[in-house]
Structure 1
Amino acid sequence: MKDKIPEFYLHEQSIALRTFLPVLHEHFPHSNPLYNRLQAPHNLPSRHCVFAATFPPSPGSALSVPEIYTILFADRSRHEESQIWAFNPLVTHLSPLSEREQNTLSSHLVSAIHFLRALTIPSAPGWPFSPVLRFACVHQSMTQSFRAITESTNSISRITTWNSWMIPTSPLSSAPQESQSKLPAGFTLSRVPEEQLDIVLSTSEIKRQPSTYLVLPSVGVLNESGKLAAWGYIGIDGSLATLYVLPGYRGRGLATRVAMELLRRLARGEYADLGYAGSSGWVHADVKMGNEGSEGVMRALGGEVSWVSSYLWVDGDRF
């Protein structure tokens, strides 16, 4: 018996934040990427972001959430970046899912693709949108469903896979502030200088626009000449992102130093003025499989691999 294709409903932004966040809070850490992405300060009214779920909005406290649902966020105007984050509680079940569960998840994703392709937002920046839907932080169970529903049309045009590390931030909030003296002589900590953003852009495998980086929390290590040697950011979905050390400076513990400082500040609410309160108690990081240096940093932060995530593009015209 085929699963009934669920229907997606648009939710007004302020109502979505009031209703979605408590629902997602029940499923940490799996829901952490979407929980944070919903609250990103980048979600300005002028961007016409999409807040949607497979249950309709309801006034007051009358919201009725089914046992199985999908909540999604999309900013389709981000043509060169990840656009879509989604959560379904089935991803919290033991993997692999049963055939019934996998089919249910697949039906939700089929509906999500059709829903997003049918949306018309003429006043959004960059309209008309590209037919390519760019999904981020896709849990391995969702990836399996995406592969199944696109197999006949070969409509996944790009996919990269990562180990998704989950790091609890409460132990870091009480960690003592590291002193500059723990850096190599002549090196200093700083926010990433705007005029040096080009090197960040050129070394990041997950592409983001300069305008995105400029409003993200960051920590950089500057060498004696004031040039970047290492850096890291809190991503648009609250992740530890773009952690990088230039080849000539590796082996000195700079990546761990940057990451620890970023997460310590986040956990203490020091980025709240930028719109990143760090209130979920978790940070996630997508690390390329086999990247031993980054894996060592994650372990130093108290992180563990929780699942395999993917970033994938679905060509809506071929779906």
Structure 2
Amino acid sequence: MAPIIETFPPSAIPAHLLTRLTSHLPFSIAVLRRLQVASLKKGGSTPTSHILYVHSDGSSHAAADDSSPFAAAYVDLSRGPETECWIYSSLQDSVPLNPVPTSSEALPPADLSRDERDACVQQLLVLLRRIRGLEASYASAHHGEEGLNKGHSRGYVRIGALHETVRRLLVAAGVRVKATGVVPVGQEWEFYATWLIRVEDLRVENEVELPGGMGWDVLREGDTGLVKSRTKIPKRDDTMLMVPSTVIRGEDGTAIAWGYLGVDGSVSTLHVEEPYRGRGLAKALTGRLLRERLRELGDDGWCSTDISTTNLQSQGVFKSIGGKPAWTVSW
């Protein structure tokens, strides 16, 4: 049965798609949160945003418990140099959780028959063809911007939190995948582990008393330069100021620790300035961020973060609050 693809603007995300993605939590969390940010946050989407939904014939308004495969994506090519696209395929649910995701080779295979897997791959290819068309149209309409020249397509789209099983199946199907510029020199690829935790399971006190002179706040315009200077990952000021954030400030008002929920709902850019480390501030900040700000996006209680498999410090923070690695992704 040939896949059917539908396209929606953020102002008209169909309720049945949100319901279906919610029924596939936690596997669908990145795409679901990106759609929630697009529909709930001012500035969460732009006129160039697209929601894509690929399904089999007759399942457009399928019930949440429908077992037929489907795929969904959020695309906004105006968001460079940040992530422009998130993709989810229901085949991700069939990949056993991997408590120690360290590389592609260690990834368990999808628990699907060959026909079921091939059907999912065909849906993903239909999705990517539509995305390729969107990218070409965007290039034509915005030539001269973001490195686009004379309307020629860049030929790529920045995809975030791509499940490693999906990436490997797409590569096997002939899709060209290139690493981003943040992959360390001499390294072919950089893997991240998606860590999961539920708000109700957080191992952090509800109210954490900060050391004297420190106080809670949110990210403000004067903080964005400092935040960007502490990470190699490209960040936009408008994104940081739009999403839910939490900041700890020192006596002089300077931000000394911060983190926010990215446009895909994941804990992003968690950082504590060097002189203030070792005091439990990262743990306290993460707990407050998730307990108080996550509800602005959804009330299902699922939290996530993507941590490089070589970032032992951040892994330690999320393990200490009750988080567990679940699957491998790349950006």
TM-score above 0.5, yes or no: yes
Q: Distance in 2 between matches of 1:206 and 1:250?
A: 21
1:238, distance to aligned residue in structure 2 (A): 1.1
Give the 5 Å matches for 1:32-43: 32-40=29-37, 41=41, 42-43=43-44
Q: SS of 1:24's equivalent?
A: helix
1:15, distance to aligned residue in structure 2 (A): 4.1
Q: SS of 2:171's equivalent?
A: helix
The answer to whether the 8 Å contact 2:219/2:240 transfers is no
Q: Distance in 1 between matches of 2:123 and 2:74?
A: 14
Q: SS of 1:308's equivalent?
A: strand
Q: SS of 1:70's equivalent?
A: strand
**Equivalent residue number for residue 242 of structure 1:** 269
Q: Distance in 2 between matches of 1:17 and 1:214?
A: 27
**Equivalent residue number for residue 89 of structure 1:** 90
Q: Distance in 2 between matches of 1:208 and 1:301?
A: 26
Give the 5 Å matches for 1:287-306: 287-306=307-326
**Aligned residue type for 1:80:** P
Matched, 1:148 2:172: yes
In the alignment, structure 2 segments of 5+ residues that lack a partner are 96-107, 181-188
**Equivalent residue number for residue 79 of structure 1:** 80
1:239, distance to aligned residue in structure 2 (A): 1.0
The answer to whether the 8 Å contact 2:195/2:326 transfers is yes
In the alignment, structure 1 segments of 5+ residues that lack a partner are 270-275, 312-319
Give the 5 Å matches for 1:1-319: 6-40=3-37, 41=41, 42-44=43-45, 46-55=46-55, 63-64=61-62, 67-94=68-95, 95-97=108-110, 98=112, 100=114, 101-119=116-134, 120=137, 130-150=154-174, 154-158=176-180, 160-172=190-202, 176-179=206-209, 183-266=210-293, 269=295, 276-311=296-331
Larger mean Cα displacement after TM superposition, 130-139 or 84-93: 130-139
**Equivalent residue number for residue 272 of structure 1:** none
Q: Distance in 2 between matches of 1:105 and 1:310?
A: 19
Instruction: Compute the TM-score of the two structures, normalised by the length of structure 1.
Output: 0.81
**Aligned residue type for 2:249:** L
Q: Distance in 1 between matches of 2:53 and 2:142?
A: 20
1:213, distance to aligned residue in structure 2 (A): 0.5
Q: Distance in 2 between matches of 1:299 and 1:223?
A: 26
Q: Distance in 1 between matches of 2:142 and 2:67?
A: 31
1:62, distance to aligned residue in structure 2 (A): 7.3
1:173, distance to aligned residue in structure 2 (A): 11
Instruction: Compute the TM-score of the two structures, normalised by the length of structure 2.
Output: 0.78
The answer to whether the 8 Å contact 1:71/1:88 transfers is yes
Identity rate, percent:
26
The answer to whether the 8 Å contact 1:197/1:210 transfers is yes
Larger mean Cα displacement after TM superposition, 258-267 or 9-18: 9-18
Q: SS of 2:157's equivalent?
A: strand
Cα-Cα RMSD: 3.0
The answer to whether the 8 Å contact 1:245/1:254 transfers is yes
1:229, distance to aligned residue in structure 2 (A): 1.6
The 1:199–1:277 alpha-carbon spacing in structure 2 relative to 1, beyond 3 Å, is same
Give a deviation string over 1:34-56, Cα, whole Å, max 9, x none: 11100112344x42311111138
1:92, distance to aligned residue in structure 2 (A): 0.7
1:124, distance to aligned residue in structure 2 (A): 8.1
**Equivalent residue number for residue 316 of structure 1:** none
The answer to whether the 8 Å contact 1:102/1:145 transfers is no
The answer to whether the 8 Å contact 2:307/2:315 transfers is yes
The 1:56–1:68 alpha-carbon spacing in structure 2 relative to 1, beyond 3 Å, is closer
